[in-house]
C-alpha cells in the first residue's frame, strides 16, 4: 500500500478521504496547522504533520517527499492555489511521486439566477471559466502540465459533494426554515449542480491512486437535482411551505455567496472516468438525507433569532 499525505485532512472532504483511505489499509498522514488540528487527526488514527502552507512550506514538501502520494484538498482561497501547486509540483519533479489535486465543477459554474442550463461538461470539454474560479482553472493546468516534469500529477474535479455531516444545499434549505418559516429556493428553482456522495468520491480516489494516468482529469457524477425539488422535499418533511426568493431576498437568507451557489448551474458528465477506471457511484439521490435529525435540528430557530 502506498503512503499517502493529505493536505487538507482536517477539512470536510479531505478528512473523509483520510479516514476512508486509512480504513482501506493505506498509511495516511495529514497536514495540521496547529496542535489542536494534530490532536483531531490523531483521534482518527492518522499521523499528523505539523506544518503550514505559508510559513512552514518546506516541512510540507518534506512530508510530500516521504510519501508516495500527496493529495491536495486544502480549503484556501483560489488565488493562492496556482503558486502553491506550482511550488509543490516543482519540488517533487523527478522523485517518482504522485500528486492529486482536488478541484471542483465550480470552474464552469453558470450564473442562471435559478434557471436551468442545458450545458453539461465531460472531462475535457471546452468551457468558459467562471470568473471567480479563474485561478483554480490555472491551478488545474499547472498540475496536469507537471506530468511532463516527471510527476504523476492528476486532477479530480468532482461536482457538489454530499454525505454525512455535510453543509450542502439540503442543510442550507433546512436552515432557511429557521430564519423564514419556509423552505426556500431561488428564482424558478431549476438550477442544479451535479453531485456525488462523499463515499463514492473516496472510492474514486482509490482507483486514481491505483491506476490514474499522469496528466489526467477525472470527473465523478452520482446524480443531479434541481434546488426547488430540494426545497419542496424539505417543506413536505417539516410541514411548511416552499417559498420562492428573489436574488435580493436570497442574499439575506443564504448570504451573498450562498445565494450565488444556490441559484447557479454546474452540470457535468464523467464518461472518460467510468470507461478508464471502471468507477460507478453507489449512491445517487441527495434527497436520501431528508428527515435526518441533524438536518431537522437546523430548522429550529435559535434563541437570538426568536428574540
Q: Where are the domains of the chain?
A: 3-107+119-160+196-218, 163-194+223-306
Neighbour-count burial of 44, counting CB atoms closer than 10 A to its CB (0-12 exposed, 13-18 middle, 19+ buried): middle
- Looking at residue 194, what is its pLDDT? 97
Q: Show the cell assigned to 123.
A: 472531462
169-180 and 247-254 are packed helices; what angle lies between their axes, rounded to 10 degrees?
90
How many CA atoms are closer than 13 Å to the CA of 91, on its beta-carbon side? Answer: 18
- Looking at residue 1, what is its pLDDT? 83
Count Cβ neighbours within 10 Å for each residue of 282-293 and write b for 16 or more, e otherwise.
ebbebbebbeee
Any idea what DSSP says for residue 78? Answer: G
- Looking at residue 181, what is its pLDDT? 97
Measured distance CA(148)–CA(170) in Å, rounded: 41
183 beta partners: 242
Cα-based angle 151, 156, 159 (whole degrees, multiple of 5):
165
- Looking at residue 9, what is its pLDDT? 92
Q: What is the CATH T-level fold of the domain 3-107+119-160+196-218, as seen in this structure?
A: Rossmann fold (3.40.50)
- Looking at residue 307, what is its pLDDT? 43
- Looking at residue 305, what is its pLDDT? 52
* CATH class, 163-194+223-306 region: alpha beta
- Looking at residue 37, what is its pLDDT? 85
C-alpha distances (whole Å) from 208 to each of 40, 69, 98, 219, 281 are 27, 11, 10, 11, 14
- Looking at residue 293, what is its pLDDT? 97
- Looking at residue 303, what is its pLDDT? 66
Q: Show the cell assigned to 78.
A: 483560489
- Looking at residue 306, what is its pLDDT? 45
- One digit per residue, the tens of pLDDT, for the chain of length 307 reads 889 999 999 999 999 999 999 999 999 999 998 888 888 898 888 888 888 898 899 999 999 999 999 999 998 889 999 999 999 999 999 999 999 999 999 999 999 999 999 999 999 999 999 999 999 999 999 999 999 999 999 999 999 999 999 999 999 999 999 999 999 999 999 999 999 999 999 999 999 999 999 999 999 999 999 999 999 999 999 999 999 999 999 999 999 999 999 999 999 999 999 999 999 999 999 999 999 999 999 999 986 554 4
Measured distance CA(188)–CA(145) in Å, rounded: 40
198-211 and 12-23 are packed helices; what angle lies between their axes, rounded to 10 degrees?
60
Tell me which residue of 275, 227, 225 sits closest to 122, measured CA to CA.
275
Based on its alpha-carbon atoms, the radius of gyration of the chain, rounded to whole angstroms, reads 20
- Looking at residue 100, what is its pLDDT? 98
Question: Rounded to 5 degrees, what are φ and ψ at 289?
Answer: -75, -20
Amino acid at each position: 500500500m502506498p503512503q499517502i499525505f493529505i493536505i487538507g485532512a482536517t477539512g470536510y472532504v479531505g478528512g473523509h478521504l483520510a479516514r476512508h483511505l486509512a480504513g482501506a489499509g493505506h498509511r495516511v498522514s495529514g497536514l495540521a496547522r496547529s496542535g489542536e488540528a494534530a490532536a483531531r487527526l490523531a483521534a482518527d488514527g492518522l499521523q499528523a504533520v505539523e506544518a503550514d502552507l505559508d510559513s512552514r512550506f518546506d516541512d510540507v514538501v518534506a512530508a510530500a517527499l516521504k510519501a508516495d502520494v500527496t493529495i491536495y484538498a486544502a480549503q484556501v482561497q483560489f488565488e493562492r492555489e496556482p503558486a502553491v501547486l506550482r511550488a509543490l509540483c516543482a519540488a517533487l519533479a523527478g522523485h517518482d511521486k504522485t500528486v492529486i489535486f482536488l478541484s471542483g465543477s465550480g470552474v464552469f459554474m453558470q450564473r442562471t439566477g435559478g434557471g436551468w442550463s442545458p450545458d453539461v461538461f465531460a472531462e475535457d470539454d471546452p468551457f468558459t471559466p467562471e470568473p471567480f474560479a479563474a485561478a483554480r482553472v490555472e491551478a488545474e493546468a499547472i498540475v496536469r502540465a507537471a506530468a511532463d516534469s516527471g510527476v504523476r500529477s492528476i486532477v479530480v474535479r468532482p461536482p457538489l459533494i454530499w454525505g454525512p455531516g455535510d453543509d450542502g444545499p439540503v442543510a442550507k434549505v433546512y436552515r432557511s426554515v429557521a430564519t423564514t418559516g419556509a423552505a426556500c429556493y431561488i428564482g424558478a428553482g431549476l438550477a442544479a449542480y451535479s453531485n456525488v456522495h462523499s463515499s463514492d468520491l473516496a472510492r474514486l480516489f482509490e482507483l486514481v491512486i491505483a491506476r490514474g494516468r499522469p496528466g489526467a482529469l477525472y470527473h465523478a457524477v452520482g446524480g443531479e437535482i434541481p434546488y426547488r425539488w430540494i426545497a419542496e422535499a424539505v417543506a413536505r418533511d417539516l410541514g411548511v411551505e416552499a417559498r420562492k426568493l428573489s436574488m435580493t431576498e436570497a442574499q439575506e437568507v443564504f448570504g451573498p455567496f450562498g445565494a450565488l451557489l444556490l441559484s447557479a448551474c454546474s452540470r457535468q458528465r464523467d464518461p472518460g472516468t467510468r470507461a478508464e477506471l471502471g468507477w460507478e457511484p453507489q449512491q445517487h439521490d441527495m434527497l436520501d438525507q431528508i428527515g435526518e435529525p441533524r438536518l431537522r435540528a437546523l430548522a429550529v430557530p435559535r434563541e437570538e433569532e426568536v428574540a
